[in-house]
Copies of this chain bind each other. A is one copy, B any other.
Amino acid sequence: MADSRPVSLIVVGSIAIDTIETPSERREEILGGSATYGCAAASFFARPGLVGIVGDDFPPGHLANFRRLGVDLAGLQVVPGKTFRWTGVYEENMDNRRTLCTELNVFASFRPDLPEVYRDCEYVLLGNIAPVLQLHVLDQARQPRFVLADTMDLWINTARDELLRVIGRVDLITMNESEARRLTGERVLLRAARALLGLGPRYVVIKKGEHGSILFSRDGVFLMPAFPLEEVKDPTGAGDCFAGGLVGALARTGEVSEPAIRSAMVYGSVAAAFGVEAFSLDRLLSISAEEIEERAALFRLMLKVE
C-alpha cells in the first residue's frame, strides 16, 4: 500500500549489505547502513526520503522492506555495480566491534544529489558518511529547520577540516564519547561537549551506547539513560536508529526546542532499543507505531522523578 504522507524529512547516508557475527550468531548479506537504519527508525514518526546509492545487485526484497516502512525512494540511486558491503564481528560483551572487511563498491562514487522536491524538506538527517558529502547536502537544502549530523572517528582522523565545517552548519551534532574527546582534545566529557558547542551547533548529543546519551545545549544538560533490554542481538545501527527516531519525532511535532528534543530523544532511544533486538531491520519491520508509543510510555515512567 502506498504511503500517502508527504516526505517531511530526508535521510542521507550509507546503504549496505552487511555480514555480522556476534558471539551467538552469524548473519550474511543482510540489509544495513546508516541511512537504512535512520530511515527505518524515522518512518514510525514521519515519512522519510532516503538519499543513498546501491548497485544493481541490490535485492528487490530489501527495496520492498523500505516501501513497507513507507520510505520514499525518489532519492535512491541504483547504478551498475555492487552495493557497499561491510563485515563486522562483535566480541563477547557486544561493546567492542571489529571491522573485518569494507568494500565500498558503488558507494565510492556516491554523490548525494537531492531530488528537487527534497530541497525544501525541513528536517534533515545527515547519517554517518564523509563530511564532504554531508556538506554537499547542506549546499542543496534550501531552508532546513533542523539538521542533525552523525559522524565517526574515521572522519575525525581523515577529514577533520570538512567535519568542523559540517559541525558549524548543523543544529545538532552527535558522536560518541571517545570521538568527542578526540576531536576536541578535551579529556573531560563536559569540557569536550562545551568545545563542540563552541564550534557552532545549538545542540550536541554524546552517545554512550548501553549507558544512554547526553544532550548539551547552551541552556543546559539532559541525561538520557538507555532503555534497558533483556537481550541485545545485534548493536549495529543503534546510533542511526537513535538519530532517525529523534529527527522523525521532531518532524512529527513540528517544534524545535530543547524540551521537544528531549522528548524526541525518548523516541530515538526506543527506536534504537527495538533496532538492536534483532539483526538488520527484522524487529523494526515487525512492530507497529502503537508498540513504539507503548514502549515510549513505559520508558517515560522509568525516567520519572516526582
Chain A interface residues toward B at CB < 8 A: 188-191, 208, 211-212, 214, 220-225, 228-231, 259-260, 262-263, 266, 300-306
Are B230 and A305 in contact (CB-based, < 8 A)? no
Contact of A259 among B188, B266, B306 (CB under 8 A): B306
A138 to chain B, nearest CB (A): 29
Q: In the complex, A259 Cα to B305 Cα: how many Å?
A: 7
Closest to A265 in B: B305
Residues of B within 8 A of A212 (CB): 211, 223, 225
Residues of B within 8 A of A301 (CB): 220
Given contacts A303-B303, A303-B305, A306-B262, contact A190 B225 (CB under 8 A): no
Residues of B within 8 A of A259 (CB): 306
Residues of B within 8 A of A188 (CB): 230-231
Closest to A188 in B: B230
Q: In the complex, A184 Cα to B224 Cα: how many Å?
A: 28
Are B221 and A302 in contact (CB-based, < 8 A)? yes
Are A263 and B306 in contact (CB-based, < 8 A)? yes
Residues of B within 8 A of A208 (CB): 211
Closest to A296 in B: B305
Q: In the complex, A115 Cα to B231 Cα: how many Å?
A: 48
A37 to chain B, nearest CB (A): 23
Residues of B within 8 A of A191 (CB): 230
Q: In the complex, A212 Cα to B302 Cα: how many Å?
A: 14
Residues of B within 8 A of A231 (CB): 188
Are B302 and A223 in contact (CB-based, < 8 A)? yes
Closest to A266 in B: B305
Jot down 14 A-B pairs with beta carbons below 8 A, ordered by A: A190-B228, A191-B230, A212-B223, A214-B228, A222-B302, A222-B303, A223-B303, A259-B306, A262-B304, A262-B306, A263-B306, A266-B305, A300-B305, A303-B303
Are B220 and A223 in contact (CB-based, < 8 A)? no
